[in-house]
Structures are given as C-alpha cells and as structure tokens.
Structure 1
C-alpha cells in the first residue's frame, strides 16, 4: 500500500473510485470533470492517493481557495482498513502547515462519512446547502485532536 501526492495521471482512477461509492454519490457523474480534478490538485490545492499494485483505491483533495475538503473517498472494497484515516490525516497536516487556520466540508447525514468526521474531531455547524451537514475544523482543534489520539 502506497500513500503519495496525487498527479494528473491519477485522475482516471480517481474518477473510478469517486463513482464506486455507495454513499454521498453524485446525481450525475459528469458533474465532476477530469478538468475539475486537475484544477483542484494542481492550482487550488493538493490531493493524495492510496494505491495498491498501481491501482488507486482511495483519494483526498483539499481546496485552499474555498478552504474546504473537496473530496475524501475510498473504494468500498477497501473500507475499515485505516486508509481513509491516513488520507484524512495527511491532508489536514499539509493543509494546516500552509498557514490556514480553518477548513470545512459538507457530507450527507446518516452516512459512514458523518460518523467518520464526528469521530475525527470535526464540529457540526448547521447545514450546507439543503442536503448536507456542514463540518468545521480549526488548526487548534486539529492539534488538540492529534494530541489526544497519540
């Protein structure tokens, strides 16, 4: 299992993972284009992937411009192995190392993602749009969370 920074060459496999999930699905897979992915991992922020035998099985992308987690997805066949946790932690460590002090994300209620973010020290702050819970994390909260889990 290899964790590394995402590249343009990973986008095809990132899209496969994104469209493999059974929760937080896209109503139309064409809503997130390859060009969107490229912009987010090269211009707006950064991404990371986990690969096994040269196949991407999970990824995370953070957006410095809008200060949010753009994506964190894992192929369902690889759930409950700590892969999402490692991608999450790598992403937040990098994000806060840039000097940012706040980040947010939206996710569907009553999903594994909601439980994951709650356990990961995120704070809920109402709704994002009409269908998603808004989670927030500060640099200070991230540092506190990391101290308690180590």
Structure 2
C-alpha cells in the first residue's frame, strides 16, 4: 500500500473510485469532471491517492479556497483496511500546515461515512443542503486529538 500525492495522470482512476462508491454516490457522476478534479488538486488545494499493485483504490482532496474536504473515497473492494483513515490523516495534517482555519465537509445521513467522521473527531454543526450532515474540524481539535 502506497499513499502519495495525487497527480494529474491519476484522475481517470480517481473517477473510477468516485463512481464505484455504494454509499453517498453522486446523483449524476458527470457533475464532477476531470477538469474539476485537476483544479481542486492543483489550484484550490491538494490530493492524495492510495495505490495497491499500481491501482488507485482510494483518494482524498482538500480545498483551501472554501476550507472544505472536497473528496474522500475508498473503492468498496478495499473497505475496512484503514485506507480512508490514512488518507484522512495525511490530508488534515497538510491542511492545517497551510491554514489554521476550520475545515468542513458534508456527508449523507446514516452512512458509514457519517460514523467514520464522528469517530475521527469531527463535530456536527448542522446540515449542508437538505440531504447531508455538515461537520467541522478546528485546528485545535485536530492537533489535540491527533497528538494523543
């Protein structure tokens, strides 16, 4: 298992992972284009991938412009192997070296992702739209929780 920074050449495999998720899928996968991925990875923030046998099986992307976790997905065939947590942690470590501003994300109600973020120390602060829970993580919460 290799965790590394995402590259433009990874986008096709990133899209495969994004579209393979069973929970919290995009209603229209065409809403997130390859160009969107490139912009979020190179201009707005940074991304990471998890690679196993030269195949991308998970990825995460943080957005410094809107102070948001834009993506964190693991292919369902690779669930429960700690990949999501590793991608999550490297992403937040990087994010909080860039800014001390709190970061937020939205995820669907009653999903494994919701439980994942609660266990990782995210604080529920309301809703994002009508179909997602909004979570936030502050620099202080991350550093105190992550240093334990």
Which residue is 1:118 aligned to?
118
TM-score, normalised via structure 1 length: 0.97
SS at match of 1:47: strand
Which residue is 1:5 aligned to?
5
SS at match of 2:51: strand
Which residue is 2:82 aligned to?
82
Q: Distance in 2 between matches of 1:132 and 1:11?
A: 25
Q: Is the 8 A contact 2:67 2:101 kept in 1?
A: no
**Aligned-residue CA RMSD (Å):** 0.6
- State the Cα deviation string for residues 102-140 of structure 1 (Å, max 9, x = none): 100000010000000000000000100111000000000
Which residue is 1:101 aligned to?
101
SS at match of 2:20: coil
Question: Does residue 36 of the first structure (1) align with residue 36 of the second (2)?
Answer: yes
Instruction: Give unmatched runs, 5+ long, in structure 2.
Output: none
Q: Distance in 1 between matches of 2:115 and 2:99?
A: 27
Q: How many residues align?
A: 148
Q: Distance in 1 between matches of 2:99 and 2:2?
A: 27
Shift of residue 53, structure 1, vs aligned partner: 1.1
TM-score, normalised via structure 2 length: 0.98
Which residue is 1:16 aligned to?
16
Instruction: Give unmatched runs, 5+ long, in structure 1.
Output: none
Which residue is 1:132 aligned to?
132
